[in-house]
Structure formats: structure tokens, C-alpha cells
Amino acid sequence: MLLSVIVFLPLAGALLVLLAGGRGDRPEREGTVRAVALGVSLVAFAATLFLWWRFNPAEPGFQFVENHPWMPQFGISYHLGVDGISLFLVVLTGFLTPLSLLCSWESTHNNVKLFSFFMLVLESAMLGVFVSIDLFLFYIFWDAVLIPMYFLIGIWGYERRIYAAVKFILYTMVGSILMLVAIIGLSYAHGTISGQPTFDLQQLYGTALTWQMEKWFFLAFAVAFLIKVPLFPFHTWLPDAHVEAPTAGSVILAGVMLKMGTYGLLRFAYPLFPHAFSYFAPYIALLAVVGIIYGALVAMVQPDMKKLVAYSSVSHLGFVVLGLCSNTIQGVEGAIYQMLNHGVSTGGLFIIVGMLSDRRHTRLIAEYGGLKAVMPRLVACFMIVTLSSIAVPGFNGFIGEFLILLGSFRWMPWMTSVAASGVILSAVYMLWMFQRVNYGDVTNEKNRALPDLSTREWALMIPTVAMAIFMGVFPAIFLRTMEPSVMKVIDLINGVAR
């Protein structure tokens, strides 16, 4: 029951928000609506923490399993469960949603009711993605995520929001809908072997497919997930979506949604099609490495902070994909860890950029400069988040990148060596931006009297910064919990191939 509660609590909260908001767009109810939404998301976060607390780290399989037949005709069931891999993504979702609600506090006044509604619906859908272990159910959540995000970008975004929203939804749909075909095909392929088609992930593992089928199914799955990640060269929707999305949208998009792609690779694409995986893994890894370098280089020359962070995500997620492709314990654990890190640090970066653009209504780096003198506290937080993002040891980012590199080095030393140069480039682009924004003299008079962090913004920054450091100092807490499950997945892949 716990998982169902966690998944549907935000949805119930969303309906509650609609009730609390009354009919129409009523600004006087804004406070109530925000409070309700934030309260619900906090309760959901508490629930995810409770889940973590009750989680048995020694158990490699799924826990808190709920399995009810749903459409028994097709072998579809309402099958939820978490293991060490999804647990933290669930917690991350719970963690970031209140933050993103909070960070839109000042900037979003246009129909807050609807905004909060979509945010909570989005949370539900994302949580659903991470806890579904039935492919059909997974796909439903997977696709359902698109709609609220589409609205968040399209309604509350910036100038080219419609273009970005439409591009976002269509691009990701193209990939995922091919996956749908593959899911169906897989289910029937399983059906022809075992006599009963099923969408249950655990039963589908190890389905003996012909090579042709396995290859194409894998590609369909992989493309869907890689678009979501997004891996070079499927990434171009991301900068647009990020730049145009409201801060909260960017935070969720970068923080959680991109992880849906990498999560999908690890949970579905790789273990379901191990032969195809071992055949294609080098190519995917190659793309990941190209993406690491490419994303960093392109990020370096962006004039727009959000775009810069967006391209940096391309680079960071390249590491994650590389780690996943290595299929070594360190690589995979590092990748999962890096997903969490990226959620915290890039989420934090987007929050900070959002704070700046709340104040100045621009995201162009050139408009800023010398902020450190004006807003020392904000800049201090900015610094920490930046450091976390460029993987300075002691911060969370390092653990992830190090483990990934370590794992993939054992697999493909040369490729990894190239990838490791991303470490240099990330310092270049992040510090360059940081310097242009915060150092030097205040050149633009408009920046002269900007207020420093407000209490609300402290409430945003403290958890982010605390997590960035905590996860850098005590990674074993997380790694230990995910290890049995990761071992299991690796065994699943290795059990058949390699």
C-alpha cells in the first residue's frame, strides 16, 4: 500500500488544490493554494523518506511490492515495487518537488492553482515511472509525465515557450511511441514462448528472443530512453525546453525527468535485451563520450545561463550513460549516484538562475557581473552548487563521476580517458560563467541594489547545499543500499551475455 499511497498522494493533492483554488483564477486564494500544494508535496516527501527508512538494504529484489491484476486478458497488472535503484530516485522526486514549488513562489502568479495542480500531477507521474515494474503501467506513467510538463513549459514559460513545449512533447513522444511498439512486441514474443503474454518485467527478463527481434526491440527502447536522457545527438529539445521552462519546470525537468531516461536504460533496456546490449553498448558509450565533450564545449560558449546549464546536463548525463554501459558495479552505481547528484546540483543551479532572473528578468550572462559584492550569500550558495556540479571532491558530483570513470575504465580505458577530459571542460564552462556573473565590478547599474537571499530562498538553498555536501561526504549510505540491487541487475545482464 505504501507505494500506492506515495504515488497517488500528490495526485490527490492536485485535486485538493483544485478544490482549494475555487472556481476560476482567483488571486486572493493564491496563498491557500500554494500552502496546500507545498504541504502535500512535503507530506509526499516525508512518505518517501519513510519508505527509505523501512527499506531493507540487504534485499536485492523489489520491496513493498503490490501486485494486482489489472487487465488480466493481456497479462497487465498493477505491479509496483522499489529496489535499491529506484528507491533513491523516488526520494529525489520527493525532495525536488517541494523545492520547485517553493522556487516558483515569487515568479508565478498567473493561475497558481493550475500551476500547482500540474506540478503535483507531474510528481505523481514521475513517482509512478520509478516504481512501476509492469511495462504497461510504466509506459502509462512515462507518457503521462509529458502532459503536465508540456503545460508547465507552455503556460508559464518564457518567450518561445510554445515552440519549446511542442518540441519537447513531440520529440520525446517519437521515441517513446516506438518503445510502445517494442513493448507490445516483447509481450507477445513472450506470449508465444510461454503461452501467456505478460507485461510483468520480472517475467519478461530473460525472454528468449530471436536476434532480429532483440536488436530492434532494444533499439526502440534505447532510443526512447536516450532521447529522454538526452544523449547526443538526441539532445536538442533539452536546451529549448530548459531555457523556456519556468524555474520549477527546469528544476523538475533536469532534476528528475532526465533520470527517467537513464533509469529506463538500466531497468528495462539493458536487462531485457542483454545480447543486444552487449552488441550496442560500445556505440552508445561512444555517443555518451561524444556527448560529454560536445555538451561541455557547447555549454562553454552559451550566452544564456539556462542554456549553459542545459548543455552541461547533456555532458553530465553522458557520464551517466557511459557508466551504465560499462555494466560494472562501480560504473552502474556511479551512474545511479550521478543521477541523484545531477538532480541536486543541476536542480540547484536552475533554482539559482531562477532567483537571478526573478530579480532581473534576464538570464543572459552578460547582463550580470559583480554580484558577489551585492549578494554575497546567494553567491556563496551559487559557488557551492557550482562546485558540486563540476565534481570537486568532497561534493557529491565527484563520487558519481569517479565511480563512473572507474567502472567504465575497466571496460573501455581509451574511451574513458577521453570522457575524463570532461572533468576539465566542466570546470572551464562553469567557472567561466560563475566568474562572469559574480566577479568583477558591478557593471550594470540594475544589479547594484539587488536583494540578497530571502527566507524563502534560504529554505531553497539550505537543503540543496546540505545535500550536495552530505552526499559528497557520506556516499556509502546511498551506495550500500543500492549495491545489492545493482548487483542483481548486472547479473541479469551478465547472466545471459558476456
Restricted to residues 163-182, the positions that interact with other proteins (CB under 8 A) are 165-167, 169-171, 173-174, 177-178, 180-181
* Of the candidates 153, 190, 295, the residue with the CA atom closest to the CA atom of residue 235: 295
Return the C-alpha cell found at 455.
Answer: 527566507
CB distance 303 to 363 below 8 Å: no
Q: Where are the alpha helices (DSSP H) in 361-395?
A: 371-374, 376-389
Nearest distance in Å: CB 495, other proteins: 17
Decide if 423 contacts 391 (C-beta within 8 A): yes
User: Are residues 204 and 186 in contact, defined by beta-carbon separation less than 8 angstroms?
Assistant: yes
Task: Give the residue with the Cβ less far from other proteins, 187 or 262.
Answer: 187
45 vs 121, beta carbon nearer other proteins:
121
Tell me the Cα Rg of the chain: 22
458 near other proteins, judged by CB under 8 A: no
- From residue 247 to residue 286, the character string flagging contacts with other proteins as x (rule: CB under 8 A) and all else as - is ----------------------------------------
Query: Shortest approach of other proteins to residue 171 CB, angstroms?
Result: 7
Question: Does 387 contact other proteins by CB under 8 A?
Answer: yes
* The binder of other proteins chosen from 151, 273, 280, 319 (CB under 8 A): 151
Question: 163: how many CB neighbours lie within 10 A of its CB?
Answer: 15
Q: Classify strands 76-82 and 63-71 as parallel, antiparallel or unpaired.
A: antiparallel
Decide if residue 329 touches other proteins (CB under 8 A).
yes
Which residue's CB is nearer to other proteins, number 394 or number 451?
394
- Minimum Å gap between C-beta 347 and other proteins is 22
User: Binders of other proteins among 390-419, rule CB under 8 A?
Assistant: 392-394, 398-399, 402-403, 405-406, 409-410, 413, 416-417
Smallest distance from the beta carbon of 60 to other proteins, in angstroms?
Answer: 14
- Residues 419-448 within binding reach of other proteins (CB under 8 A): 420-421, 423-424, 427-428, 431-432, 435, 438-441
Of these, 146, 415, 465, 468, which contacts other proteins (CB under 8 A)? 146
Q: How far apart are CA 358 and CA 353, in angstroms?
A: 8
Amino acid at 320: V
Distance of CA 351 to the CA centre of its chain: 15
Least distance from C-beta 327 to other proteins, angstroms?
12
Among 15, 35, 58, 71, contact with other proteins (rule: CB under 8 A): 71
The residue from 1, 73, 159, 195 that contacts other proteins (CB under 8 A) is 73
Q: Which ranges constitute the DSSP H helices of 390-441? A: 396-411, 413-420, 422-438
| 225 counts as binding other proteins under rule CB under 8 A | no
Which residues 228-247 are close enough to bind other proteins by CB under 8 A?
Answer: 233, 235-237
The tally of CA atoms less than 13 A away on the side-chain side of residue 288 is: 32
Q: Is 474 in the site for other proteins (CB under 8 A)?
A: yes
CB of 229 to other proteins, least distance (A): 15
Considering the complex, what minimum distance in angstroms separates the CB of residue 140 from other proteins? 4
| Contact indicator for 225, 180 with CB cutoff of 8 Å | no
CB of 168 to other proteins, least distance (A): 11
Using alpha carbons, select from 252, 285, 255 the residue that is nearest to residue 270: 285
Listed ranges 49-57, 243-251, 352-360, 365-373: which one lies at the site for other proteins (CB under 8 A): 365-373
Stretches 145-153, 248-256, 259-267, 355-363: which one binds other proteins (CB under 8 A)?
145-153
Distances (CA, A) of 447 to 352, 369, 438: 15, 8, 11
Q: Running DSSP on this structure, what letter comes out for residue 304?
A: B
- Window 110-139: contact mask with other proteins (x via CB under 8 A): ----x---------------------x--x
Distance CA(333)–CA(347), nearest Å, equals: 21
Contact (Cβ atoms closer than 8 angstroms) between residue 113 and residue 265: no
* Interface of this chain with other proteins, residues 332 to 361, rule: CB under 8 A: 333-334
* Dihedral sign (CA 161, 162, 165, 167): negative
Q: With beta carbons less than 8 A apart as the criterion, state whether 189 and 213 touch.
A: yes
Q: Which three cell numbers stand for residue 154?
A: 507552455
Q: In angstroms, what is the minimal distance from the CB of 23 to other proteins? A: 8
Q: Residues 8-27 vs other proteins: string with x where CB under 8 A?
A: ---------------xxx--
Identify which of residues 61 and 376 has a Cβ nearer to other proteins in the complex.
376
147: contact with other proteins by CB under 8 A = yes
Q: Taking the complex as a whole, how short is the minimal distance between the CB of residue 133 and other proteins, in angstroms? A: 17
Residue 396 to residues 120, 126, 339, 465, 467, Cα–Cα distance (Å): 27, 23, 11, 10, 8
Cβ-based nearer residue to other proteins, 247 or 438: 438
b/e 174-193 (16+ beta carbons within 10 angstroms → b): ebbebbbebbbebbebbeee
Q: How far is the CB of 175 from other proteins (least distance, A)?
A: 10
Cα 192 from Cα 138, distance rounded (Å): 22
In the complex with other proteins, the residue whose CB is nearer, 180 or 497, is 180
The answer to whether residue 195 forms part of the interface with other proteins (CB under 8 A) is no
Using the CB atoms, write b or e for 74-107: b if 16+ within 10 Å: bbbbebbbbbbbbbbbbbbbbbbbbbbbbbbbeb
